[in-house]
Amino acid sequence: MVIDININQAGYGKDEPIIQNINFSIKEGELVGLLGPNGAGKSTTIKSILETIDYMDGSVQFWDDSMRYAYIPEQPVYYDELTLWEHIQFTASMCEMSEEKMKDRVQPLLEIFRLNKVIHELPVTFSKGMQQKLMIILAFLIKPNLYIIDEPFIGLDPKAMKDFLRLLEHERANGAGVLMSTHMLDTAERICDHFILMSEGEVIAQGTLENILKAAGSNNVVSLLDSFEILMERT
């Protein structure tokens, strides 16, 4: 087990809970998809896990204190005055990583994501996709126990997406867990082991694809998208 999440209520003010009764855990190597329409509460759930939410009643527990996570946000977050290389150095120093280890890990990533030529430039001059790649490189640099990824499928070009998923697969094989929020149900269906379907701040179904198809309860339901539509209609 990597993390156990039990959120009774959370939101942006104590009197107005936005999400309720969100309970799930993520095991080593598991990819859990957090799915739901706009406003369902996916980002609020992620903020609760990251403990950046204003109000939460519940608990978020890593299996042991030495575990750490990396968060890849949908909107890239960076320091305006630091270059790409300085971001890498700063992240490595926060993790007390040696310069040698940092270079070993980061060089292949810079090559894969084709950012070698801009290492001494400021991310503010990058395209959105390049900024997203910076977020991804920083996450893979620290090799966390848990990757928390908010909508990775918008902004990256097809090759970058393929490379990203391949690297993630490698991390999972080494025991990292992943929580990924997305609207891309066809891709989620292909890559996730577990699904959490949210609507209006609550979980309407969770489990394996088989569990979700079963919960939708129709013999004609063959895809995650179909099940989601049926389950949404019921709420």
Give the other-Cβ count within 10 Å of 66's Cβ: 7
Q: Are 227 and 216 in contact (CB under 8 A)?
A: yes
Q: Are 164 and 140 in contact (CB under 8 A)?
A: no
Token pair for residue 44?
A: 């609020």
With CA atoms as reference, report the closest residue to 43 among 80, 74, 17, 67: 74
Tell me, residue by residue from 9 to 28, as one string, x for binding to ligand ATP by CB under 6 A and - for no binding. ---x-----x----------
Angle at 127 between CA 126 and CA 131, to 5 degrees: 70
β-bridge partners, 33: 180, 195
- Kindly identify the residues of this chain, within the stretch 53-92, that bind ligand ATP according to CB under 6 A: none
Return the residue of 40, 56, 178, 224 that touches ligand ATP, per CB under 6 A. Answer: 40
For residue 8, the minimal CB distance to ligand ATP (Å) is: 16
Would you count residue 42 as binding ligand ATP (CB under 6 A)?
Answer: yes
Q: Which stretch binds ligand ATP (CB under 6 A): 37-45, 63-71, 83-91, 188-196?
A: 37-45
Return the residue of 21, 39, 124, 190 that touches ligand ATP, per CB under 6 A. Answer: 39
Would you count residue 175 as binding ligand ATP (CB under 6 A)?
Answer: no
Residues of this chain that interact with ligand ATP (CB under 6 A) are 12, 18, 36, 38-44
